[in-house]
């Protein structure tokens, strides 16, 4: 590990106020987005302010810790390694691999001399496994793939159309910085990551039998980014392709994919009625590189990648994101943060009058004064139309992320 590497400062700033507090710090996110490295960065920070800090590190992907499989094992190991009379900082990587781990965390949290940190690759980790038994004593920090501007920093690239194309193709897993940016090398690495997620975080965790269907569903969702679907519609389509399944199985498997942070299921929001629609949602991938590694990087998918990229970066910026419905019209994204809201339409180009009327026209029908954007792959920034701002993708990301 390079001691002088500045790594994703926003996450360090988020956790910094909680260091030393009797509160479990839980980093969640897809595998290989950099959760483990964040733990090392926090260890470094702790050691700079507390030279007597005693650090206990458990990595469940390391065979050296294969004996820690239960809550009792975890508790016993920490108690054996702990130094009394001083602060002990406990770091547990991929804690979901330990059966009933929340029981051990609840017990360890009673000790004033322990400060607890852990990572997990399952979206239900906090809400189901930890929050139920440790309500009010745990904080979740969701770690995403690199943002576009982090990608530039990691790869030592300038902000340009070429850099954006590389980002849309290869995605933002941090290890890319150590690889030549060549299709055969990068996509082989990404396919291996997908296999790890599929087998370890989905097939093994949920004891799935129909692995082939999981693969078919993942590829279907990858091909249909941004399309409005319900579990029944997906099931009907797969049946038309001679793939026998039920809407319940589709719903369950899609939930498993989302729990592993591979995809995000985004609900529809009725802008006028101010409610969530009961049926119909969209799916986006956490990392565009993984999506492209599964089904290929195709020129006809540029619009889908544009939309997925916008969704990801709204999430990274801290927005709660939904699909907007306004009568029979669709607003690509309704994003809310700190009581404020923005509306976003995504389109490859606005060269055609018909496209301009559709994208701007839908936004003009919204009767409020929140900011509204049309985001395009065109290099066309700064102009507004009746208060709606038109920005290129790069300019929009700079605006919401401050890059």
**pLDDT tens by residue, 37-83:** 999 999 999 999 888 899 999 999 999 999 999 999 999 999 999 99
Entry field: residues in the chain = 403
CA-CA distance, 44 to 295, in Å (whole number)?
40
User: Does 291 have pLDDT greater than 80?
Assistant: yes
**pLDDT tens by residue, 196-244:** 999 999 999 999 999 999 999 999 999 999 998 888 888 888 888 888 8
Alpha-carbon distances of 304 from 103, 150, 297, 313, 398, rounded to whole Å: 43, 22, 11, 14, 20
* Residue 114: other Cβ atoms inside 10 A: 19
User: Does 98 have pLDDT greater than 80?
Assistant: yes
Alpha-carbon distances of 153 from 5, 9, 17, 146, rounded to whole Å: 11, 12, 25, 10
Alpha-carbon distances of 305 from 29, 61, 134, 166, 215, rounded to whole Å: 21, 32, 39, 12, 20
Give the Cα-Cα-Cα angle 48, 54, 60 (nearest 5 degrees). 105
Nearest to 60 by CA among 70, 48, 50, 47: 70
In this structure, what DSSP letter does residue 28 have? E
Backbone angles phi, psi at 107, to 5 degrees: -70, -45
Q: Are 266 and 322 in contact (CB under 8 A)?
A: yes
For 193, the token pair is: 């990551």
Q: What is the CA radius of gyration of the chain?
A: 22
Q: Are 216 and 292 in contact (CB under 8 A)?
A: no
Query: What pLDDT is attached to residue 133?
Result: 65
Nearest to 121 by CA among 92, 90, 147, 86: 92
State the residue for tokens 């989905």.
202
CA-CA distance, 70 to 127, in Å (whole number)?
20
Query: What pLDDT is attached to residue 107?
Result: 93
Measured in whole angstroms, the distance separating CA 287 from the mean position of its chain's CA atoms is 7
Residues 140-164: what's their mean pLDDT?
Answer: 95
User: Does 184 have pLDDT greater than 90?
Assistant: yes
Return the percentage of the chain with pLDDT > 90, whole number.
Answer: 74
For 9, the token pair is: 């400062």
Measured in whole angstroms, the distance separating CA 21 from the mean position of its chain's CA atoms is 26
E strand intervals along 79-129: 88-93, 114-120
State the residue for tokens 């897809």.
30
Return the percentage of the chain with pLDDT > 70, whole number.
Answer: 95
| Domains with residue ranges and CATH for the chain | 9-142 (3.40.50.300), 148-402 (no CATH)
Residues 238-253: what's their mean pLDDT?
Answer: 88
Nearest to 311 by CA among 277, 353, 283, 350: 283
In this structure, what DSSP letter does residue 226 have? T
Query: What pLDDT is attached to residue 380?
Result: 66
pTM: 0.93
Query: What pLDDT is attached to residue 174?
Result: 95
User: Does 2 have pLDDT greater than 80?
Assistant: no
Residue 42 burial (CB < 10 Å; 0-12/13-18/19+)? buried
Nearest to 199 by CA among 185, 218, 225: 218
Q: Which pLDDT band, with edges at 50, 70 and 90, does 277 fall under?
A: confident
């Amino acid at each position: 590990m390079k001691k002088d590497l500045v790594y994703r400062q926003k996450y360090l700033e988020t956790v910094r106020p909680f260091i030393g507090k009797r509160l479990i710090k839980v980093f969640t996110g897809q595998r290989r987005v950099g959760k483990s490295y964040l733990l090392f960065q926090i260890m470094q920070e702790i050691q700079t302010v507390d030279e007597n800090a005693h650090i206990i590190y458990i990595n469940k992907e390391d065979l050296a810790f294969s004996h820690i499989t239960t809550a009792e094992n975890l508790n016993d190991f920490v108690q054996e390694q702990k130094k009394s009379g001083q602060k002990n900082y406990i770091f547990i990587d991929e804690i979901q691999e330990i059966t009933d781990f929340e029981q051990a965390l609840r017990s360890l949290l009673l000790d004033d001399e322990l400060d607890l940190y852990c990572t997990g690759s399952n979206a239900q980790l906090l809400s189901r496994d930890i929050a139920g038994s440790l309500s009010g004593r745990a904080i979740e920090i969701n770690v995403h793939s690199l943002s576009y501007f982090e990608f530039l920093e990691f790869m030592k690239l300038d902000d340009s159309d070429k850099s954006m194309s590389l980002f849309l193709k290869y995605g933002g897993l941090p290890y890319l910085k150590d690889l030549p940016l060549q299709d055969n090398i990068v996509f082989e690495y990404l396919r291996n990551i997908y296999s790890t997620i599929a087998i370890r975080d989905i097939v093994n965790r949920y004891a799935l039998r129909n692995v082939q269907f999981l693969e078919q569903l993942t590829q279907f969702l990858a091909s249909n980014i941004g399309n409005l679907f319900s579990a029944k519609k997906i099931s009907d389509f797969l049946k038309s392709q001679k793939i026998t399944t039920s809407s319940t199985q589709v719903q369950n498997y899609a939930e498993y994919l989302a729990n592993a942070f591979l995809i995000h299921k985004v609900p529809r929001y009725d802008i006028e009625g101010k409610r969530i629609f009961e049926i119909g949602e969209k799916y986006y991938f956490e990392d565009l590189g993984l999506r492209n590694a599964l089904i290929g990087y195709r020129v006809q998918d540029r619009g889908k990648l544009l939309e997925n990229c916008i969704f990801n970066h709204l999430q990274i910026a801290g927005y709660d994101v939904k699909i907007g419905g306004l009568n029979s019209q669709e607003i690509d994204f309704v994003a809310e943060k700190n009581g404020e809201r923005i509306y976003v339409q995504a389109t490859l180009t606005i060269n055609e009058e018909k496209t301009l009327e559709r994208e701007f026209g839908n936004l003009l029908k919204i009767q409020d004064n929140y900011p509204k954007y049309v985001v395009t792959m065109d290099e066309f920034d700064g102009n507004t139309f009746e208060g709606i701002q038109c920005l290129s993708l790069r300019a929009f990301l700079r605006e919401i992320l401050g890059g």
